[in-house]
Amino acid sequence: MNELPKMKNQTAKIFCGLLLALSAICANAQDAAEDAAPATVLPTTYEAMVAALPEASYDDKELLLQKISQSGNPQAPNLLHALLDGRLMATEAGKVYISQSSDEALAAKNLSDAITGAAVTGVNAESISPIGTNNRLRKGLRALCAQLDLASADADARSKAVQSIMRDLDEAGTAALRARLPLEKESSIQKSISSALALADLQSADANIRLAAVETLSGDISSEVYNGLTTLITKNDDGSFTEPDLRVRTAAAEGIRKIETRRKAYGALETLFFGLSLGSVLVLAAIGLAITFGVMGVINMAHGELIMLGAYTTYVMQLLMPQHIALSLFLSVPAAFLVSGLVGVGIERGIVRFLHGRPLETLLATFGLSLVLQQLVRSVFSPLNRSVASPEFMSGSLVINDAFSVTYNRLYIVFFMLIVFAALQLILKRTSLGLKVRAVSQNRAMARAMGVRTEWIDAATFGLGSGIAGVAGVALSQLTNVGPNLGQAYIIDSFMVVVFGGVGSLWGTLISGMSLGVVNKLLEPWAGAVMAKILVLVFLIVFIQKRPRGLFPQKGRSVEN
């Protein structure tokens, strides 16, 4: 950034204004203006500078902002950020306020005075308007903000500031980083500052400095470093290298190789994560089936539609409380459990119990039911897909570094699946209901002889499995559109997961779902998404031939027929 003059000549200002679009030329003009001495006086006190902001031209604003950032006033960082975000408001009378929101409707609430920082109330929303900026000004502002933030007490803000400076390295930014480096206590930020400085050093005229810089950078996987190093080993149009020194080139090539290896490792990690999150979806979809099919031995082809009902419950909950998306999502979990669970109890009482011991007939009847449920949803909600909004904490992603970031919704689904799984295990292993469920599934006649009301247990077990399917629907509504065919898409996968894991084994379902998810994602880059799915299906078909009882077969005599 060029050295800025304290005063400026009116003619130079007009001249500059004419050439605003060409900033390089404009910079020259400002240099010229510096030489031409007499000028209008810009205010020097902080209060006066702030007050002058709303009316100043864009060029004057730039100068004023420079001064404000150098003023050391504790309000300065706040003010610059507010201006950058369009939250800096001015009244007709020239008062300047910082608002908490750039939204016009909300801007008048939560105002604070730009000079003192004190909260201000009773300002008419009509009377304030945001102070305008243009692209060039915002670019400068971002640099100023980043430089100011380097001194911030918040480590997160400092780290962001370093990243921001690194993206657009210039002299002022480099100087600010150099000044910060000895003061910085946080080691991770220290590291990224030295990376940024080394990146700047790559432009140095001294080959030794460049070499040292390359060595510092080697292994840093951020894309700025990667691009910086790649420019070193690229050739000019005439065939000569952009980097004249062979040592630096070799070091750069080595550094790039290191970066690529590390990136590959992170890429593998990302694939693994995608696989685990897909696996979690599969486990969620299948775990209800692991109860109804695995524990009870009932083929419920309407399982997918119970998932769909859960997803629609989320949709309805959101319609009921459109202002509280996060709350509606949390309330949807018990609501979907109840809706799908009750439907499940209805299915058990109305259909399944009459077909006890006739699995193929159960399969057909529940399939018919799934058609009816699908059509019912089409009649009630329309055949079109409905989209369910995600609350704020679900959107965005957790960026670990440039090569590896995980989206929150996929991350949360893994945790959600684990919670559901743990809850189910607790119910089955630690409650009296769970004890009876296991007893009935192991030996129905004996359980009845011991006084267990098997009909009630059947209905409750089926309801439990169906309710879990509904809960899975809540999770799926956050990943895909909610439509009448939602359940159909998961029914074959769910059965595959349960059969692969071993019927009757919840842990088997967990492990099989997770491994199928990971295998699917591992195959995807190599074979394409559809082919990966086909390969997994074929693998499963072959696997079931080899081990018809799955990965973790139940032991004992009850499994023989």
Residues at the contact surface with other proteins, assessed by CB under 8 A: 299, 351, 354-355, 359-365, 367-372, 374-375, 378-379, 488, 492, 495-496, 499, 530-531, 533-534, 537-538, 540-542, 544-546, 548, 561
Whose Cβ is closer to other proteins: residue 16's or residue 377's? Answer: 377
Strands, E assignment, 61-177: 88-91, 96-99, 111-113, 119-120, 128-130
Whose Cβ is closer to other proteins: residue 125's or residue 537's? Answer: 537
Whose Cβ is closer to other proteins: residue 79's or residue 351's? Answer: 351
Whose Cβ is closer to other proteins: residue 362's or residue 478's? Answer: 362
In whole angstroms, the minimum distance from the beta carbon of 259 to other proteins comes to 34
Measured CA to CA, the distance from residue 153 to residue 297 in angstroms comes to 61
In whole angstroms, the minimum distance from the beta carbon of 470 to other proteins comes to 20
**How is residue 334 written in tokens?**
């018990």
| Rounded (10°) angle between helices 432-442 and 408-430 | 80
Residue indicated by tokens 């911030």: 152
In whole angstroms, the minimum distance from the beta carbon of 342 to other proteins comes to 19
Whose Cβ is closer to other proteins: residue 21's or residue 380's? Answer: 380
241: DSSP letter:
B
Measured CA to CA, the distance from residue 66 to residue 494 in angstroms comes to 62
Sequence-ordered list of residues with C-beta below 8 angstroms from that of 311, at least 6 positions apart, any chain: 336, 388, 473, 474, 476, 477, 482, 486
Whether residue 507 contacts residue 320, with contact meaning beta carbons closer than 8 Å, is answered with: no
- Residue 398: strand pairing partners: 406
Considering all CA atoms of the chain, what is the largest pairwise distance in Å, rounded to the nearest integer?
Answer: 107
Whose Cβ is closer to other proteins: residue 416's or residue 490's? Answer: 490
Whose Cβ is closer to other proteins: residue 88's or residue 532's? Answer: 532
Strands, E assignment, 397-536: 397-401, 404-407
Sequence-ordered list of residues with C-beta below 8 angstroms from that of 130, at least 6 positions apart, any chain: 86, 87, 88, 89, 90, 102, 107
In whole angstroms, the minimum distance from the beta carbon of 297 to other proteins comes to 9
Position 222, amino acid: S
Whose Cβ is closer to other proteins: residue 200's or residue 299's? Answer: 299
Whose Cβ is closer to other proteins: residue 334's or residue 346's? Answer: 346
In whole angstroms, the minimum distance from the beta carbon of 524 to other proteins comes to 14
Using alpha carbons only, what angle is made at residue 546 by residues 545 and 548, rounded to the nearest 5 degrees?
65
Sequence-ordered list of residues with C-beta below 8 angstroms from that of 195, at least 6 positions apart, any chain: 166, 216, 217, 220, 222, 225
In whole angstroms, the minimum distance from the beta carbon of 281 to other proteins comes to 18
Whether residue 365 contacts residue 351, with contact meaning beta carbons closer than 8 Å, is answered with: yes
In whole angstroms, the minimum distance from the beta carbon of 376 to other proteins comes to 8
